Amino acid sequence: MTLLEFIHFMLMLVTLAELFQKLPWMWHLVKIPQEGVTLRVNMPVLVTGATGFIGSHVVVELLRRNIPVRAMVRDLSLTKMFEKDNNLEFVKADLLDVEALKVAVDNCDDVIHCAAALHLDNKEVKKRVLDPSIKGVENLCNVMSSVKRVVHTSSVAAIRSTHYNNGQVFTNNDWCSDASVDSNPYGYAKSTAERIIRDWAAEREVKLVTINPSIVFGPILHKKHVGGSMAYLNHFSKGSKFVLDIHINFVDVRDVAIAHVNALEGGEDGGRYIIHKTGLWMKEIGEILSKNMEGKFATVKLPTLFAYSLGLIHPKLSVRRLRSALGRHVDYDTNHSFEILSLPDYDIRQTLEDSIKSIRAQD
């Protein structure tokens, strides 16, 4: 090799090295032509709904493990909630925009589908609840022809029936089969979406795992996360004096995020994992917060008659919803999900305290 050829060869290597540094998402599984040896060069994991409450924690957990992430977002201004990381790239896309979804999924073997909607009120049900879950998962399935592994965020709402017996215990074999758009739009959306993606996966060589969390509490990464499931704890943070006689089944968002990431490797193909810590009455939550944190927290139950009156005027309540919830509770059998997915199992006091602290930090 002449000196000129050697210089040309070295310049070519430098150019290739720079290309791979700038485009880490192009890396994929490279098989070495030696028997039994495989070098894994990671492609990014696509996380839909990356700026949502669960999705943001999934992104953080993946990055903590030095796994490249392609975070799908609808609003790029929300990406400021994440620290800069060379393993993190953003793609702007919406579940209802098929062409944008194609770009988001391109060159991704793994997809963690967190994007959905949780709205506690009953306005614009089709636009805000049904379409993001049902039409969104249909669109995503249509563009995932080359994806190898999918973790889908479902919910216990896809498991618990609309009509249930007080104290009933549900398992991962149960389905919310009696929901309708009118009676239980969220349960209908979540159960329908999960069935759609399960039917899709059954006809293909793709690993699918669904994570079915109860209500999710924990530290928020952005003030937008105060809505949705964290609205329950925001009620305490605002200094309200009364609580409703409502039982809340919840789990720490960090356990939920780790469950999603661990499910890529450790979850059983077709597995359905209920991620649920415990259930407490709102009064009990107030008592725990009062005992362990500075400040006063609501512990006085609002009489039932006043609660129904509140349901007539409160934008996130309804008399029908209160009638089915006041003084009633259910539970969930997690069937060793925490052990199977190797979850840290956060203590409820830490979950509640970290939640309130993070909400207060947004003020």
Strand partners, 31: 38
Range of the domain at 34: 3-38
123: in domain: yes
pLDDT given for residue 158 in this prediction: 98
In angstroms, the Cα distances linking 163 to 179, 245, 248, 269, 362 are 9, 19, 17, 30, 38
319: in domain: no
The answer, yes or no, to whether residue 22 has pLDDT greater than 70, is no
> Average pLDDT, whole number, for the chain?
87
Q: Are 129 and 175 members of one domain?
A: yes
Q: Are 103 and 181 members of one domain?
A: yes
Q: Are 107 and 179 members of one domain?
A: yes
Closest to 110 (Cα-Cα) out of 52, 51, 25, 200: 25
Count of domains forming the chain: 2
Q: How many angstroms separate the CA atoms of 158 and 288, rounded?
A: 29
> What percentage of residues in the chain have a pLDDT greater than 70?
87
Report the CATH number that the domain containing residue 112 is assigned in CATH: 3.40.50.720
pLDDT given for residue 91 in this prediction: 98
30: in domain: yes
Q: Are 161 and 207 members of one domain?
A: yes
pLDDT given for residue 7 in this prediction: 37
Q: Are 188 and 98 members of one domain?
A: yes
Q: Are 26 and 73 members of one domain?
A: no
Q: Are 177 and 50 members of one domain?
A: yes
Confidence of residue 41 (pLDDT cuts 50, 70, 90): very low
Q: Are 27 and 77 members of one domain?
A: no
Sign of CA dihedral 40, 41, 46, 52: positive
pLDDT given for residue 302 in this prediction: 92
Confidence of residue 36 (pLDDT cuts 50, 70, 90): very low
Q: Are 71 and 214 members of one domain?
A: yes
Kind plus residue range of the DSSP H or E element containing 45: strand 45-48
Q: Are 136 and 12 members of one domain?
A: no
Q: Are 168 and 86 members of one domain?
A: yes
177: in domain: yes
Confidence of residue 237 (pLDDT cuts 50, 70, 90): very high
More confident residue, 196 or 123: 196
pLDDT given for residue 10 in this prediction: 38
What's the whole-number mean pLDDT along residues 203-232?
Answer: 96
197: in domain: yes
